[in-house]
Amino acid sequence: MDSVSFTGDFIKLGQALKLAGVVGSGVEAKIVIQGGDVTVNGQTETRRGRKLTGGEKIGYMGKTFTVQKES
Protein backbone atom coordinates (compact mmCIF):
# COMPACT_ATOMS: atom_id res chain seq x y z
CA MET A 1 0.00 0.00 0.00
CA ASP A 2 1.25 3.45 -0.92
CA SER A 3 0.51 6.78 0.69
CA VAL A 4 0.16 10.42 -0.27
CA SER A 5 0.96 13.30 2.06
CA PHE A 6 -0.53 16.76 2.18
CA THR A 7 -0.16 19.94 4.19
CA GLY A 8 -2.97 22.11 5.46
CA ASP A 9 -6.26 21.09 7.04
CA PHE A 10 -7.50 18.75 4.30
CA ILE A 11 -7.13 17.55 0.72
CA LYS A 12 -10.02 16.88 -1.64
CA LEU A 13 -10.51 13.39 -3.03
CA GLY A 14 -9.89 14.43 -6.64
CA GLN A 15 -6.63 16.12 -5.66
CA ALA A 16 -5.52 13.05 -3.71
CA LEU A 17 -6.09 10.82 -6.74
CA LYS A 18 -3.98 13.14 -8.89
CA LEU A 19 -1.26 13.34 -6.25
CA ALA A 20 -1.15 9.55 -6.02
CA GLY A 21 -0.71 9.38 -9.80
CA VAL A 22 -3.70 7.09 -10.39
CA VAL A 23 -5.40 9.67 -12.63
CA GLY A 24 -3.81 12.18 -14.95
CA SER A 25 -6.14 15.15 -14.57
CA GLY A 26 -8.98 16.65 -12.60
CA VAL A 27 -11.37 15.75 -15.41
CA GLU A 28 -10.32 12.10 -15.22
CA ALA A 29 -10.69 12.19 -11.42
CA LYS A 30 -14.21 13.58 -11.78
CA ILE A 31 -15.19 10.83 -14.23
CA VAL A 32 -13.90 7.92 -12.14
CA ILE A 33 -15.27 9.30 -8.87
CA GLN A 34 -18.74 10.08 -10.23
CA GLY A 35 -18.71 6.70 -11.98
CA GLY A 36 -18.51 4.96 -8.61
CA ASP A 37 -15.02 3.52 -9.19
CA VAL A 38 -13.41 5.02 -6.07
CA THR A 39 -13.76 3.91 -2.46
CA VAL A 40 -12.92 5.73 0.75
CA ASN A 41 -12.45 3.43 3.74
CA GLY A 42 -14.11 0.61 1.81
CA GLN A 43 -17.25 2.54 0.80
CA THR A 44 -17.99 3.90 -2.67
CA GLU A 45 -17.55 7.67 -2.82
CA THR A 46 -19.02 9.79 -5.61
CA ARG A 47 -18.18 13.27 -4.27
CA ARG A 48 -15.04 14.64 -5.93
CA GLY A 49 -14.84 17.40 -3.33
CA ARG A 50 -14.93 15.06 -0.33
CA LYS A 51 -12.53 16.47 2.22
CA LEU A 52 -9.91 14.05 3.50
CA THR A 53 -8.21 14.94 6.76
CA GLY A 54 -5.71 12.08 7.02
CA GLY A 55 -5.87 8.38 7.75
CA GLU A 56 -8.38 7.54 5.01
CA LYS A 57 -7.74 4.55 2.75
CA ILE A 58 -8.54 5.22 -0.90
CA GLY A 59 -9.15 2.42 -3.38
CA TYR A 60 -9.20 2.63 -7.18
CA MET A 61 -8.67 -0.05 -9.84
CA GLY A 62 -7.27 -2.56 -7.36
CA LYS A 63 -4.77 -0.05 -5.94
CA THR A 64 -4.99 1.22 -2.38
CA PHE A 65 -3.27 4.19 -0.80
CA THR A 66 -3.49 6.01 2.50
CA VAL A 67 -3.86 9.77 2.90
CA GLN A 68 -1.49 11.21 5.49
CA LYS A 69 -1.35 14.74 6.87
CA GLU A 70 2.16 16.18 7.20
CA SER A 71 2.84 17.98 10.46
pLDDT at 71: 76
Can you name the residues that pair with 69 across neighbouring β-strands? 6
Q: Taking the model in full, what pTM does it have?
A: 0.92
Q: pLDDT category, 15, cuts 50, 70, 90? A: very high
The pLDDT tens digits of the residues spanning 35-61 come to 999 999 999 999 999 999 999 999 999
Mean pLDDT (whole number) for 9-27: 95
- Cα-Cα end-to-end distance for the chain: 21
| Rounded CA Rg of the chain | 11
Euclidean distance between CA atoms 28 and 17, whole angstroms: 10
* Domain segments of the chain as ranges: 2-69
**Superfamily of structural domain 2-69:** RNA-binding S4 domain (3.10.290.10)
pLDDT at 32: 97
Euclidean distance between CA atoms 42 and 59, whole angstroms: 7
Kindly tell me if the per-residue pLDDT of 1 is higher than 80.
Answer: no
